[in-house]
Amino acid sequence: MSSILNAQYSTPVSLAFETKPVAGQHLSPRGYHVSILADSRIFVFGGFNGQDVYEDVYILDLAGSGYLAQVRALGILVRIPR
């Protein structure tokens, strides 16, 4: 589901809150999650909504005002020399 929501965050220059439209697959309401800010992206890990436990990752790109596509699987290829 792709939708556009509004997000409110402060700018690093004025520290005033701004409302901007945010595109992409947004996360559902939740608590007990972990979030970090790295460069201009907010990473949100897991959470709980009172009924369901989430084990997902959402990335909000603040510069582009949109959620990035989720990584569904991750693998590591190891080559062993013979």
User: DSSP state, 31?
Assistant: B
Both tokens assigned to 45: 């890990």
Domain ranges of the chain: 3-67
Q: Who's near 68: CB < 8 A, 6+ residues apart?
A: 24, 41, 59, 60, 61
pLDDT in tens, 23-75: 888 888 999 999 999 988 889 999 999 999 998 888 988 888 888 877 666 67
Give the per-residue pLDDT at 2. Answer: 41
Rounded to two decimals, what is the model's pTM? 0.66
